[in-house]
Amino acid sequence: MHLKTNWITIFVLLAVPAIVLFAQTVADDSVIKDLQQQKAQVLEKMKAIPQEGATQEDVDRYNELKAQYDQLDAQIDARLQELDAEAAKRRGAANNYNQGNDYYKDGKYGEAIESYKKAIEFDNTDYRFFKNLGQAYYRNKQYDQAVDAMRDGLRLNSEEASMYLVMGQSQAKMKKYDDAIFSYDQAIKIDQTYPSAWLGKGNAYMAQKNYSQAEAALQEATKYDTQSSSAFYNLGVAQSEQGKITAALDAFKSATDITKNYYKGYYQQAVMLNKFEAKSAAEKCLTYKKNYAGAFFEIGTAYKKMGNKVKAEEYFRKCLNDRAWQSAAQWELDHGLKEAFQE
């Protein structure tokens, strides 16, 4: 019996999937490779069957192998369709993601949000889509949504510090300072040298009037970014609120050295110098007239401006035995300090 088989046709059928895969940029797909390898093995078995003088057993064996070959071919076609669909999804995701980036750069945050959301509809496994969506929400002042987007992104990549940063910034905008500090700390755990996270943490503590913690965080911010005028300025404010006049003056000077037109830094330098000089002059007065109530009053006023309530109260009380200054000192104790420290 003679088997009517066109071996060239079989070789062509075997080669087509490889050509398609190359065109589809999926030549390295492990499933296709495995199926092609199986087809090649089946083909070798088919070629081993004699074409001349074939027995019925040979024919049955050939037909069995041909059925296996056709089944493998169908599986390859099905896999190619899957890969085509996946590639289409990736293209859709990439196109919308890139469109979103263009909108974001142009400041069109609402349009960027819609594009990023479409990208996620195509592919919800890429953390960058959620990250950029969260940033667009933040810029669009949709802080709750920004936090949600960053959380979704962090589920896909928990080591992306910048997502914790934007989450913290969003929470701070909503005055959720404890949550913000926690988020900043998560960013810092990932990257100890992340100046923006230290700055955000310091600012959150400032908002809570926790100036010692703010100072510690802002010191780290200036350590890891020596050119951040805002970090130095905020550090100066934190130190000023604790009565650390010399340190605050140095911090404000660093801010203006970095940014020459930082007018707030110059203003705070003037405030610090006035406080420092007033206190210094009053203390010098006491060296010439011990227990002079007027000098005590000015030192108390200087400490009040420095944010040191305990020392201010101490010096105002020293005025109470002097009739000339008793009334003014008592007013400061009863009203002035309470107003200054918002009690």
Kindly state whether residue 335 falls inside one of the protein's structural domains. yes
pLDDT of 274 above 80: no
pLDDT of residue 341: 81
Within a domain: 71: yes
Is 87 contained in some domain?
yes
Residue 61 tokens read as: 């064996």
Q: Please report whether residue 49 resides in a domain.
A: yes
And the tokens for 132? 């950029």
Cα(224)–Cα(57) distance, integer angstroms: 80
Answer whether residue 17 is part of any domain.
yes
Please tell me the total count of domains within the chain: 2
> Quick check: 254 pLDDT over 80?
yes
Residue that terminates a domain, selected from 64, 92, 107: 107
| Mean pLDDT, residues 235-244 taken together | 90
Tell me the residue range of the domain where 315 lies: 289-340
What pLDDT, on the 0 to 100 scale, is given for residue 220?
98
| Confidence grade of residue 6 (pLDDT, cut at 50, 70, 90) | very low
d(CA 254, CA 250): 6
Mean pLDDT estimate for the chain: 86
In the prediction, which pLDDT does 174 show? 98
Q: What is the pLDDT of residues 288-320, one digit of tens each?
A: 788 888 888 888 888 887 778 898 899 999 999
pTM: predicted TM-score of the whole model, two decimal places: 0.67
13 domain residue, yes or no: yes
d(CA 240, CA 234): 10
Contact 197, 182 (CB under 8 A): no
Domain end call among 107, 124, 155: 107
Contacts of range 130-135, beta carbons closer than 8 Å, 24 or more positions apart: 130/156, 130/163, 131/160, 131/162, 131/163, 131/166, 132/97, 132/100, 132/101, 132/104, 133/100, 134/163, 134/166, 134/167, 134/170, 135/104, 135/166
pLDDT of 243 reads 80
Distance, in Å, from the CA atom of 214 to the CA atom of 201, rounded to the nearest integer, reads 7
Helices 229-241 and 211-224 pack at an angle, to 10 degrees, of 150
pLDDT value of position 263 = 84
Model confidence at 329, in pLDDT bands (50, 70, 90)?
A: very high
Whether the pLDDT of residue 261 is over 50: the answer is yes
Please identify, among 80, 107, 134, the residue that sits at the C-terminal boundary of a domain: 107
Average pLDDT over residues 10-26: 35
Least reliable range by pLDDT among 60-64, 101-105, 207-211: 60-64
C-alpha–C-alpha distance, residues 148 and 181, integer Å: 17
pLDDT surpasses 60 at 17? no
CB 80 within 8 A of CB 17: yes
Of residues 10 and 240, more confidence is placed in 240
Which pLDDT value is given to residue 14? Answer: 32
Question: Residue 322: inside a domain, yes or no?
Answer: yes
Q: What is the pLDDT of residue 208?
A: 97
- Please check whether residue 135 lies inside any domain of the structure: no
Of the chain, the percentage scoring pLDDT greater than 90 comes to 52
State pLDDT tens for residues 78-111: 887 777 777 788 888 999 999 999 999 999 999 9
The alpha carbon dihedral of 136, 138, 143, 144 has a sign of positive
Length of the chain: 343
Q: What percent of the chain has pLDDT over 70?
A: 91
Q: Is the pLDDT of residue 200 over 90?
A: yes
What's the half-sphere exposure (Cβ side, CA atoms, 13 Å) at 133?
27
The per-residue DSSP string of 231-253 comes to HHHHHHHHHHHTT-HHHHHHHHH
